Chains A and B, each alone.
Chain A
Amino acid sequence: MGAALIWFKLFWSFFKIGLFGFGGGYGMISLIQNEVVEKQAWISNSEFTDIVAVSQMTPGPIGINSATYVGFKAIENAGMTRTQAVLGSLLASFSVMLPSFIIMLLISAFFMRYQNHPSVRTVLAWLRPVVVGMLAAAVLLLLNEENLGSFKTDKLQFYVSIALFASAFAVTYVWRVNPIKVILLSGLFGGLFYSLLPA
């Protein structure tokens, strides 16, 4: 009974997280923490901090990354096999996507049908500057110490980051360089430059 219960709980917890997780990955993190660390105690607080850090340092949406990781750890910490832990991570990732999948399908169907109705067109025209403002705010919020380095304690990293930011913008905006190339090159640069730097 106990064994079957954890699978259901894993599904239900991540289904709820997917349903109430508004506003992108960062909004979801506090929900996951509340459900997985506080309520279910599947993983410890420090394990959770590690998961968030790993999620930010690996490709993919943070919500999916943390669901995959927590699903694995929850089953592993419950004393089951690694194969079962892999199933746990698949179940958690599937469950976190399910609510938004259903809702997005309904919205998409509605949108396809009524997108040319004058009322919908009015709403969309009003929303366009909001979306652009929302993206601009994301850029401004991301330009912080955590991403650029501190101007006070590490001037070198700060100036290098500003140079990387400016050149990445220039090459993608003016010369339309592929973003994937920019990610690979800036990663290569960071790996070489900071590793070869004398301490």
Chain B
Amino acid sequence: MLLALFTTFFKIGLFTIGGGYAMIPLIEREVVERKGWISKEEFLNLMAIAQSAPGVFAVNISIFIGYRMRKTVGSIFCATGTVLPSIIIILAIAMFAGNYRENPVVENVFKGIRPAVIALILTPTIRLASGAGFDHWTWLAALVVAMLIWRVGISPIWIIFVTIVCAVLFYIIKFRRE
């Protein structure tokens, strides 16, 4: 099990190109669909948690899944698996290939990858929302949040924070009535 956690996250870390969000389609595929380690709903919960905690989003996700499977030892294996490919590759570049960035073929490869990676993030977004049984109101709420971040430029952390406060207040009021 520990080895499976390590190799799965090593593979995910190896193909996470262009920041933490690029990891989401890979986790959805490997951890949610193929291995069934966590459910779609749990994955959505987990993303809110990983985003509100400090540090690297992708590493936070792997720590949580590791903990969920095999407590602290599991999270150490998952986190190590996630970061090891980057550490090896960056070290190789820092030591042997200083001019990697100026290589035109490398730049061309990334011209192809970048637009595809954006689409790869869109797919699990829609799939996770449908899997969590979204109705018209939840879709509308998601749309408003997307606009607040995209157009108004509010940080997702603030929106998460305000939502938690509102949800707690709502719960207290409802609980008192009952």
A-to-B contact residues, CB < 8 Å? 18-26, 28, 50, 53-65, 68-69, 72-73, 82, 85-86, 89-90, 93, 96-97, 99-101, 103-105, 107-109, 111-112, 115, 118-119, 122-143, 147-149, 157, 161-162, 164-169, 172-173, 178-180, 182-183, 186-191, 193-195
Are B139 and A129 in contact, CB atoms less than 8 angstroms apart?
yes
B-to-A contact residues, CB < 8 Å? 11, 13-21, 23-26, 29, 41, 44-45, 47-51, 53-60, 63-64, 67-68, 72, 75, 79, 82-83, 85-87, 89-91, 93-95, 100-101, 104-106, 108-129, 132, 134, 138-139, 141-150, 155-157, 159-160, 163-164, 166-168, 170-171, 175
Chain A residue at minimum C-beta to C-beta distance from B21: A138
Q: B58 to chain A: which residues have CB within 8 Å?
A: 60-61
Are B48 and A131 in contact, CB atoms less than 8 angstroms apart?
yes
Q: B45 to chain A: which residues have CB within 8 Å?
A: 111, 115, 124, 127-128
A160, chain B: closest CB distance, angstroms: 8
Chain A residue at minimum C-beta to C-beta distance from B106: A57
Are B116 and A164 in contact, CB atoms less than 8 angstroms apart?
yes
A-B contact sample (18 more), CB < 8 A, given A124-B48, A129-B142, A180-B26: A28-B56, A58-B93, A60-B83, A65-B86, A105-B63, A109-B67, A118-B175, A126-B164, A129-B134, A130-B145, A132-B134, A134-B146, A137-B148, A141-B149, A148-B115, A161-B115, A172-B119, A187-B109
Are A162 and B115 in contact, CB atoms less than 8 angstroms apart?
yes
Given the complex of chains A and B, what is the CA–CA distance between A131 and B110 in angstroms?
28
Among the listed A61, A132, A172, A179, which residue makes an inter-chain contact with B15, where contact means beta carbons less than 8 Å apart?
A: A179
Q: B149 to chain A: which residues have CB within 8 Å?
A: 133-134, 137, 141
B86, chain A: closest CB distance, angstroms: 3
Q: B157 to chain A: which residues have CB within 8 Å?
A: 22-23
Among the listed B72, B90, B167, which residue makes an inter-chain contact with A65, where contact means beta carbons less than 8 Å apart?
A: B90
B46, chain A: closest CB distance, angstroms: 9
Are A139 and B125 in contact, CB atoms less than 8 angstroms apart?
yes
B175, chain A: closest CB distance, angstroms: 8
Are A164 and B54 in contact, CB atoms less than 8 angstroms apart?
no
A91, chain B: closest CB distance, angstroms: 11
Given the complex of chains A and B, what is the CA–CA distance between A147 and B79 in angstroms?
28
Among the listed A53, A132, A162, which residue makes an inter-chain contact with B125, where contact means beta carbons less than 8 Å apart?
A: A132
